[in-house]
Amino acid sequence: MKFINLLYTVAQVALISALLWICNLVVAHLGLPVPGSVLGLGILALLLISGAIPEKWIAIGAAWLMADMLLFFIPPVVAVLKYRTLLAPCGLGLIAILIIGTATVMIGTAWVVDRVFVLEHRRYQEKENA
Amino acid sequence: MRDLMWPVASLVGTTILYYLCKGHYKRTRQFWCTPLLAAPVIVVALVVVLHIPLPAYFEYTHWLVALLGPATIAFALPIYRQRHMIARYPLTIIAGVVTGLILGLVSNWGYARLFHIPGDIALSLLPRSVSTPFAIQVSAKLGGMPDVTALMVVLTGVIGMLVCEPVYRVTRVKSAHARGAGLGSASHGAGTAKAHELGAQEGVIASLTMIFTGISMVLVAPLLSRLFM
């Protein structure tokens, strides 16, 4: 059973990679301002929503790609060893920015959404009751 | 033969270490073991201690990085599965995405100026609150260093998981949707994982906000590059 799952994962990741390859060609050919991966995301979402392809064709592969995405960016983090002399002098400043900046975005977004959601939820319920 | 030793060991070692960290974290749930933090730290330490030449390390591991492209496309699946949620609360999601996008760009740029961060590092900071595959694309487009951006994205994820509970307690954010949107827009995948721990609603909103913020940032990147260059 596990082996079958592995086969499905490999095949579906290959299918998604093929879509990426085609999208990269299209982007290069037409000189589009979006990366092939984002074009591919849009196309796959449309294919799924329109029912052109069933979810099970890609679900296992897509789930693996998302669940283990952390593995894919370990090498870029290692690459930072190349920049240590560049980053070291502003290390403390960077840490401060990361903490304050993350809190700023989190608080700001949550504050706005708190208000918008109340309005939209009320509107939705009115529509339901009407 | 000797030439292949480090490249093969790097690819196999990175992969095995990642899955070991992940398995260990699943069993213990200790914060410092999260594969987001522990796996890169251990790999970097090994590369330094064993004197693995960086070009040899990247010879095969760049195939792992190449999977970020297909991983971006995979985000179509949660969009498809949550299409009813998107149809029901479009304004909530748009509000989260737009606020997160603007606040992320403006706050990073402002704080970078405030702390006198050199220009190319500041540019690498700009897209750090969106998911790695998007952030790397944006960083390259803006003239930043994608590798540095990847590190900043990882650190942002860790910080987001750490600060969210105190931040939400102090600011009295109550609704599940707001908590999810804040986590998704400020700390991408790690924030989304944390949001799933807070609740199902939080998790769904966080993942949608994260994905759409990432997409929007990639879409506005060409405009931004004209602004900053």
pLDDT digits (tens, 9 = 90+) for A22-74: 999 999 999 998 899 999 999 999 999 999 999 999 999 999 998 888 899 89
Q: Kindly state the tokens that stand for A55.
A: 């979810």
Amino acid at B101: L
Are residues A114 and B173 in contact, defined by beta-carbon separation less than 8 angstroms? yes
| All structural domains of chain A with their residue ranges | 1-72, 77-130
Quote the pLDDT of residue B29.
Answer: 79
Q: What is the mean pLDDT of residues B66-76?
A: 93
Report yes or no: A83 at the B interface, CB cutoff 8 Å: yes
Predicted confidence (pLDDT) at residue B20 exceeds the cutoff of 80: yes
The mean pLDDT of chain B is: 90
Distance between CA A3 and CA B31 in Å, rounded? Answer: 32
Quote the pLDDT of residue A54.
Answer: 96
Report yes or no: B146 at the A interface, CB cutoff 8 Å: yes
Report yes or no: B60 at the A interface, CB cutoff 8 Å: no
A 87-106: CB under 8 A from B: 87, 90, 93-106
Quote the pLDDT of residue B212.
Answer: 95
Q: What is the mean pLDDT of residues B149-173?
A: 90
Cα B124 to Cα B138, B194, B220, distances in angstroms: 9, 25, 16
Instruction: Out of B76, B89, B182, name the one closest to residue A48 (CB).
Output: B76
CB–CB contact A107 B222 (8 Å): no
Predicted confidence (pLDDT) at residue A1 exceeds the cutoff of 70: no
pLDDT range class, residue B225, cuts 50, 70, 90: confident
A36/chain B closest Cα distance in angstroms: 8
Predicted confidence (pLDDT) at residue B195 exceeds the cutoff of 60: yes
Report yes or no: A124 at the B interface, CB cutoff 8 Å: yes
Cα B94 to Cα A32, A55, A113, B56, B73, distances in angstroms: 24, 25, 9, 44, 21
Best of B72, B79, B185, B205 to mutate (most A CBs within 10 Å, chain A): B72
Q: What is the DSSP letter of A32?
A: -
Distance between CA A23 and CA A28 in Å, rounded? Answer: 9
Quote the pLDDT of residue A48.
Answer: 97
Q: What angle do CA A20, B215, B185 make, to 5 degrees?
A: 135
CB–CB contact B65 A109 (8 Å): no
Instruction: Out of A45, A93, A118, name the one closest to residue B116 (CB).
Output: A93
Q: For chain B, what percent of residues have pLDDT higher than 70?
A: 98
Predicted confidence (pLDDT) at residue B2 exceeds the cutoff of 80: no
Report yes or no: B33 at the A interface, CB cutoff 8 Å: no
CB–CB contact A79 B58 (8 Å): yes
Contacts of B92 (CB under 8 A, 6+ apart): A113, A116, A117, A120, B177, B181, B205
Instruction: Out of A66, A80, A117, name the one closest to residue B147 (CB).
Output: A80
Best of A109, A111, A121 to mutate (most B CBs within 10 Å, chain B): A109
Predicted confidence (pLDDT) at residue B1 exceeds the cutoff of 70: no
| SS3 category, A19 | helix
